[in-house]
Structure 1
Amino acid sequence: MQVRHHLRNFSYNIIVRLSVNNWLGKSVLSELAKIAYQEENYFSAIKYMEQSLGIENDSPKFSEENIISTTYSTLAGYYLKAGNWEKALDILKNKMLYWREQNQDVLVNNWHYESALDSYASILAETGKSKEALRVYKHLTEINKNKWRLVSLGTLYYNIKDYQSALKCYYEALCDSSTLSTDNCLNSLAICYSAMGEYKKAIQTQKECISKTNPDLLTYSNNYNGYASYTTELSNLASFFNWNEQHDSALVYEKKSLELKKKYFSPHHESIAYSHINLGVAYGGLGNLNEAISHLIFSYDIYKNQRRSRFRQRVLSYLLKYSFCLNEIDNLNKYIAEYMISASEDLLSSFQELTYDERSRYIEDYSNILNREIPTYAYYTHSDSIIEAAYNASLMMKGALLNSENSVKRVIEESKNDTLINLWAELKADKYILAKNLEKDSLYRKINADSLQKVIYRLEDSLIVKCKEYGDITRSMKLKWKDIQHHLIPNDIALEFLSFPTNNDSIVYVALSLRKDSEYPKMITLFEGKQLTGFQDSLHYQCKEMTDLVWKPLKTELEGIKNIYFSPSGALYNIGIEYLPGMEDYNIYRLSSTRELVTSRKTETKNRAVLYGGLNYDAEFDKSVTDRSLAMLDEAFIERPKVRGMGLRGGKEFLKHTKEEVDIIGKELNNANWECVLDTAAMGTEESFKALSGKNVECLHISTHGFYYNKEDADNARYKFMLIDNNMVSAEDKALTRSGLVMAGANHILENEKLPDNVEDGILTAKEIADVDLRGLDLVVLSACQTGLGDIAQGEGVFGLQRGFKKAGANSILMSLWEVNDEATKILMTQFYKNLVSGQSKRQSLRSAQKYLRDYNNGRFNEPKYWAAFILLDGIN
């Protein structure tokens, strides 16, 4: 390296003295830049390359195309390595893209044009703009689908966690490739297997990749790039061994890789840093934590300025773990603060450019640390700053997917842009058609699901790009605990309940407590999950055992408090803790997240309500009803799930009190000058509900049978229609298919009758509800059984009817946790609306109605089973 340094200086001095202003000077300067780059002297590399570009070209060997597609690409790469990625992108935009515009007639199959865009996409990817880079590469593959470009395209899919698409690209590239590109394919394929958790397959593939390379030949030929690739392949293999808990093997391969790297790379090269990550993880896995931390810190010092680097985040995740194990609290605090900044920046930036499914996959990488590990560290250390981080992590992660999706809808609505609105409508229709076809056996599908999925992806991708021009879909994720505190008054308290596993294989429940006068949030330990076993629902509200578990540990925090705003977690989603004995003197609000204190907005008062009740489940599909329904219904919304023989909980008999219920409520609303529509008997169809899409209803009341089945129940042969066995359907959508409402005419399909082709079956699932546009819906009241239940997802809440209505646009939801009595529910609901129109808040209206029911007819319905089932979500306003 010292000889190369003297040669560089000698060559440079000759050029300067002789003022060589021709192609030879350009060549020498370019070579000097290359040498400086390999020595990691990026600023010198930039200087030489810019001087080279300043020399006039007088050689026929050099064309303008060649200069732009190679020299400027190289210069941009040097700026990127120097940390100035803005300058790198600016060079590519202003030089290469300008050249493209001037040569429109030679773009197709033009190597220079392809090279320009390839460089542009590569820098976008390196700066974390994987989705934007993916769009460029898709365009490139349409021009020339060669195998090495397919590998790059696969890597971009890998970066956004779309591993199936990445594998498809790698496999296609492997089918027809040279020896060199085969190595690249196999290496990328192994990395993808590892990310999918298939470590043994990753190890096998990486070994095959390494076997194709002769390290002696690389050394002999002085092949810098080949040498770098070979040592990286060794490091990748070590990494896969680490993931597979084979730490001894990881040490063997990584030590070999590091020994070779030291011959070619400077001590602070990123490739060296990667080796130290693997060594740190291996030593950590073998129990030598001090040695592990020394390697990880060495690596972190190299990566620390690369906030969105996945290697930096990986280093931090292990430094968190090992610092905690060694009880190094100061270091733990420092690394958690760094991780929170890095994770926040990455998630906020990525969410702005990813589709909903892509966001769902992307957030999984952060879920374990943000939802489990950081709360665990706070639980054991009692550190104020770590508790602060746990609260901020909860605000960022709780309902992040739901809020980002609803934010997209809000941005579209507020944009007033017809193109954007029409694109959204087209996307919704295509998604619905795809969902309905996927529920059918493949032999009976009318469309090619894969083709439609590609159309949907392009539509949603285009929509996300346009949304960025009109608004920020991540505003709610940026909130911190101080933002929540700012909206509290002295007698308020905000409680974020968390649940996470501890070292003793139990689930611990804690409350993050925040008052107006809090210097920091506090973490209060409540109980372990196993303490909930043995409790019966009816006993929760009649004895103080549950109160002692949930509220007694918070007694000190609740001194001087009147209003409690809490967001549940785990089993608390299914328990009405706001009704537990001893809590009667507090105003308790159940929230999706305490973030609602900041983001909740009072909807515009329209005084429009639609009421469903007294539904005729045996209703015939006579022509007048069908014509009326179809006139309101878009054909794309028709669904026919396989529900034959399904026995719904709560039965399918007529609920006589529901007709009385909606009649009384309708009169109360009419008297208060509300515009009220009653859909009863045969008119309360599934079609009529879906026809509410986009109608700006403020209040929706549905009094009927409800149902929810967990996956275990649905595995029963009677519920096979609820089990969609297709990898194109998300876990969320599968869960939403297992809960719903029974509408008019449902008994025909339940009793195995054949229905006309142009009508719905009467089984309204949460998945279908999510696809209806109910924006502007301030309050939905689900006067039915089990409407508050669903699959509980870590960080995202309950996947059931409440999720369906929230995705549709509902603000507040009144729902039930168990099967409810028909008559008692009628009394409760009618009194609730009387209170509401008299000016009481939603929460006051419900609590007063519950008291009224308990006192009714000398306490006939005093037992909690009659009144405590109904909970109000997000009823702040």
Structure 2
Amino acid sequence: TDVNYDTWKDNLSELYFRTKNYDAALKLAEEVFAVRKEMYKENDPMLLASYGRLSEIYEAKGDIEKAYTYLKKDMDARVSKIQSDFSIMNQNEKEQYLSTFRYRFDEFNFFAFQHAATIPAIAQDVMNYQLANKSMLLYSVSAARTTFANNSDKALKQLYQTWLEKKQFINKLETLSEEELNNNNYNINTLQEETENIEKELFLKTGNNLNTSNTISWNTIKSKLQPGEAVIEFITIPDYDDTCANYNKYAAVLLKYNTAPEFIILCREDSLLYYMQKKTNEKDQQYISRIYGYAEFEEDALMYSGQNIYKLIWQPLESKLNDIKKIFVTQSGLLHKINFSAIPVSPVKCLADNYQIIHIASSKIIADGVSNVTLNAKDTIVLFGGIDYNATDEKLFAVSKKITTDLTTISPVEFSSVDTTAVRGGSWKYLPGTLQEINTIASAMKENKITVLSYTGENASEDIFKNKASTYDVLHIATHGFFVNDLPSTVVKNKSASTDYTLYNSGILLAGGNRSWQGETIKNNLQDGILTAAEVNNMDLSNCKLVVLSACETGLGTIQNDEGVFGLQRAFKLAGAENIIMSLWQVSDKETALFMQTLYKNWSSGISLQEAFIKTQNTLRIQYGPYYWAAFVLVE
């Protein structure tokens, strides 16, 4: 058969489809499909195109069952293609490759949105494709890194270290000016190419052992759920219906320990945004009190939006949760900005009163067994706080020279004339509360015979952080955090072609960071004190069971619906950290310190991190409103 003749037929079929002559379109599409089925392998793009064409024609003709059959064939073939191709790609290639497929997952979800009522079983496929697609990049990259870091082949391990070092070196070069680069003969793009080739080599050498995208079905997840447990997969669905304005919709797939998945339609994104949008001149505390407050009477409806947020994203699920006590939640889109435990159900109760809610990056985590992380005597906690953001070059240089010697006993620095009303974020003032916070944690942990290292003043430098972070079990960073749409050009002066800039928009401040932020050049080849998510991404934190980001807005970043938030949270996950505690909004020193002290005290009593976190929230809830107790989320 002539391939061109088939393509011509296929084009004509599309023309008939667009002019709503569905019978003629179907006749040609079926002829083309019959030929392609003989000519091509199961997941060849030509065959996938035929599945897609047949599906849309049958849907237009009103034969939803047949449309579903072909759409499912298309999706299954794509998922298996992604999984076979993924294992040898580096991170950049994976990102580009996935972006060419993502729209099909969205289209399938839109199909489910329209037809779940007539085909309830479609919820099972939605769940399976969510498992294949949600956080796929994050999951495959972190799984690969764990394999590299723990490999028995010494040469491969060394190659992995070289790769990380080269990536860190590129991060450093990106802070230099054009002139400085030229004077030293550095070409960022050439170096970038070298690191990508090393990454490719790593993937090729471990290809067979790399189970980075293993298929997990909803059945596997269900088998791991205990009585009283459920998973809710929230989904953002772009609109593919020409008749409507182009807005996203939200839906959820609910999987309980004793039933198959159910597809539940929630709301339009613009309705949710209406209540979640921060008003002009609305202070943080007013804003949080409004979205997590519940208006009992009509006249209070302007003061509180919590009852409306509840109606939109939780009420449609409520009737199905009668026997459920513990819920694993994976977020999407705008929902990343919500602490579900704090959503109010009445003027005096919130979801935390009815359920134990656990935020997870992907439901795959349940298949691996949710970590039961405890704190024990052999663990070491590293604390960074009371940081001198204006530390001089001389001080930073002296600190970097000490790196080879151990720095366990470093005295806290006394600062005069500090601003005690400090909120973490904004202009980078000294935060006295962070010193108090880490000192209190340190003394409480020492009583429990747990080793603690504290870095304060100029000693809390980026050089120290990068040198020490990878070897310890718990990393606690109490400092300023930032999320900006664009970093000052003083911070990133040179951007290489293939760097992911969504990871440059967020970070934390370490010693001397103020000076770099204002455009001063840090001498002696020292780090600049601004630790971006891009730099964290290039560290190896696979030994780390918990990272605590006790800074403002460390949970924020650029939201990409199914991959999650591209910011610090993602970077620490990519670097291998098992659990992350971070903040969704700015919180003042006193309450942050109280939250953290209570958390460590609870955790060191022998209970799991998850239990300790929930217990801490419940303790603070007695005394404080959501602005204080709901600022932090634990993501596993």
Displacement of 1:500 in angstroms is 1.3
Question: 2:156 & 2:372 partners in 1: Cα distance?
Answer: 25
The answer on 1:297 being equivalent to 2:30 is yes
The equivalent residue for 1:513 is 254
The answer on 1:426 being equivalent to 2:172 is no
Say whether the 8 Å CA contact 1:618–1:745 is kept in structure 2: yes
The equivalent residue for 1:651 is 427
Q: What are the superposed Cα offsets for residues 795-814 of structure 1, whole Å, 9 maximum, x if unpaired?
A: 21000110110011111111
Say whether the 8 Å CA contact 2:424–2:588 is kept in structure 1: no
Alignment equivalent of 1:868, drawn from 623, 630, 635: 630
Question: 1:511 & 1:397 partners in 2: Cα distance?
Answer: 15
Alignment equivalent of 1:530, drawn from 258, 265, 270: 270
Amino acid at match of 1:467: T
The answer on 1:573 being equivalent to 2:332 is no
Structure 2 vs 1, CA of residues 415 and 691 (structure 1 numbering), >3 Å: closer, same or farther? same
**Runs of 5+ consecutive residues of structure 1 not aligned to the other structure:** 1-265, 634-646
The answer on 1:699 being equivalent to 2:456 is no
The answer on 1:338 being equivalent to 2:338 is no
Structure 2 vs 1, CA of residues 610 and 710 (structure 1 numbering), >3 Å: closer, same or farther? same
Question: Which protein shows a greater Rg?
Answer: 1
Q: In structure 1, the residue corresponding to 2:402 is in which secondary structure?
A: helix
**Range with bigger deviation, 750-759 or 824-833:** 750-759
The equivalent residue for 1:407 is 143
Amino acid at match of 2:568: L
**Range with bigger deviation, 419-428 or 845-854:** 845-854
Alignment equivalent of 2:485, drawn from 692, 707, 710: 710
Structure 2 vs 1, CA of residues 388 and 681 (structure 1 numbering), >3 Å: closer, same or farther? same
Displacement of 1:413 in angstroms is 2.9
**Runs of 5+ consecutive residues of structure 2 not aligned to the other structure:** 277-286, 295-306, 346-350, 408-422
Amino acid at match of 2:56: K
Amino acid at match of 1:507: N
Displacement of 1:375 in angstroms is 0.9
Say whether the 8 Å CA contact 1:406–1:807 is kept in structure 2: yes
- 1:686-765 aligned at under 5 Å gives the runs 686-695=462-471, 697-711=472-486, 714=487, 719-721=488-490, 726=495, 728-730=497-499, 733-765=500-532
Q: What are the superposed Cα offsets for residues 665-707 of structure 1, whole Å, 9 maximum, x if unpaired?
A: 1122222222211111221111111012541x21111111111
Question: 1:648 & 1:614 partners in 2: Cα distance?
Answer: 12
- 1:798-809 aligned at under 5 Å gives the runs 798-809=565-576
Q: Structure 2 length normalisation: TM-score?
A: 0.85
The answer on 1:624 being equivalent to 2:398 is yes
Question: 2:341 & 2:34 partners in 1: Cα distance?
Answer: 49
Q: What are the superposed Cα offsets for residues 732-767 of structure 1, whole Å, 9 maximum, x if unpaired?
A: x20111101111222233444443233222111111
The equivalent residue for 1:462 is 201
Q: What are the superposed Cα offsets for residues 571-621 of structure 1, whole Å, 9 maximum, x if unpaired?
A: 000111221123112111111111211124557964111011111222333
Structure 2 vs 1, CA of residues 678 and 727 (structure 1 numbering), >3 Å: closer, same or farther? closer
Question: 2:493 & 2:253 partners in 1: Cα distance?
Answer: 38
Question: 1:523 & 1:275 partners in 2: Cα distance?
Answer: 39
The answer on 1:317 being equivalent to 2:52 is yes
Displacement of 1:849 in angstroms is 2.1
Q: What are the superposed Cα offsets for residues 45-68 of structure 1, whole Å, 9 maximum, x if unpaired?
A: xxxxxxxxxxxxxxxxxxxxxxxx
Structure 2 vs 1, CA of residues 725 and 663 (structure 1 numbering), >3 Å: closer, same or farther? closer
Question: 1:598 & 1:430 partners in 2: Cα distance?
Answer: 34
- Give the structure, 1 or 2, with the largest relative contact order (CA under 8 Å, sep 6 or more): 2
Say whether the 8 Å CA contact 1:336–1:386 is kept in structure 2: no
Question: 2:596 & 2:632 partners in 1: Cα distance?
Answer: 10
Displacement of 1:472 in angstroms is 2.5
Displacement of 1:360 in angstroms is 1.2
Amino acid at match of 1:358: E
The equivalent residue for 1:611 is 383
Structure 2 vs 1, CA of residues 802 and 369 (structure 1 numbering), >3 Å: closer, same or farther? same
**Range with bigger deviation, 348-357 or 604-613:** 604-613
The equivalent residue for 1:97 is none
Displacement of 1:351 in angstroms is 0.4
Say whether the 8 Å CA contact 1:324–1:377 is kept in structure 2: no
Amino acid at match of 1:728: A
The answer on 1:791 being equivalent to 2:558 is yes
Q: What are the superposed Cα offsets for residues 527-578 of structure 1, whole Å, 9 maximum, x if unpaired?
A: 1111121434332221122222221111121111011111011000011122
Q: In structure 1, the residue corresponding to 2:552 is in which secondary structure?
A: coil
Displacement of 1:495 in angstroms is 0.6
- 1:137-152 aligned at under 5 Å gives the runs none
Q: In structure 1, the residue corresponding to 2:97 is in which secondary structure?
A: helix
Question: 1:276 & 1:794 partners in 2: Cα distance?
Answer: 37
Alignment equivalent of 2:291, drawn from 537, 540, 551: 540
The equivalent residue for 2:443 is 667
The equivalent residue for 2:230 is 493
Structure 2 vs 1, CA of residues 406 and 464 (structure 1 numbering), >3 Å: closer, same or farther? same
Displacement of 1:458 in angstroms is 2.7
The equivalent residue for 1:472 is 211
Amino acid at match of 1:869: A
Say whether the 8 Å CA contact 1:692–1:774 is kept in structure 2: no
Say whether the 8 Å CA contact 2:223–2:257 is kept in structure 1: yes
Q: Structure 1 length normalisation: TM-score?
A: 0.63
Amino acid at match of 2:132: M
The equivalent residue for 1:168 is none
Question: 1:513 & 1:722 partners in 2: Cα distance?
Answer: 44
Structure 2 vs 1, CA of residues 578 and 669 (structure 1 numbering), >3 Å: closer, same or farther? same
| Number of residue pairs matched by the alignment | 576
Say whether the 8 Å CA contact 1:707–1:741 is kept in structure 2: yes
Say whether the 8 Å CA contact 1:270–1:303 is kept in structure 2: no
Amino acid at match of 1:511: A
Alignment equivalent of 2:112, drawn from 353, 369, 378: 378
- RMSD between superposed Cα atoms in Å: 2.4
Displacement of 1:364 in angstroms is 1.6
Q: In structure 1, the residue corresponding to 2:597 is in which secondary structure?
A: helix
Say whether the 8 Å CA contact 2:387–2:460 is kept in structure 1: yes
Question: 1:868 & 1:368 partners in 2: Cα distance?
Answer: 34
The equivalent residue for 2:418 is none
Question: 1:482 & 1:524 partners in 2: Cα distance?
Answer: 19
The equivalent residue for 2:420 is none
Q: In structure 2, the residue corresponding to 1:531 is in which secondary structure?
A: helix
- 1:12-23 aligned at under 5 Å gives the runs none
Q: What are the superposed Cα offsets for residues 642-685 of structure 1, whole Å, 9 maximum, x if unpaired?
A: xxxxx994321111111111111112222222221111122111
Say whether the 8 Å CA contact 2:173–2:494 is kept in structure 1: no
The structure that is helix-richer by fraction is 1
Say whether the 8 Å CA contact 1:722–1:737 is kept in structure 2: no
Q: In structure 2, the residue corresponding to 1:720 is in which secondary structure?
A: coil
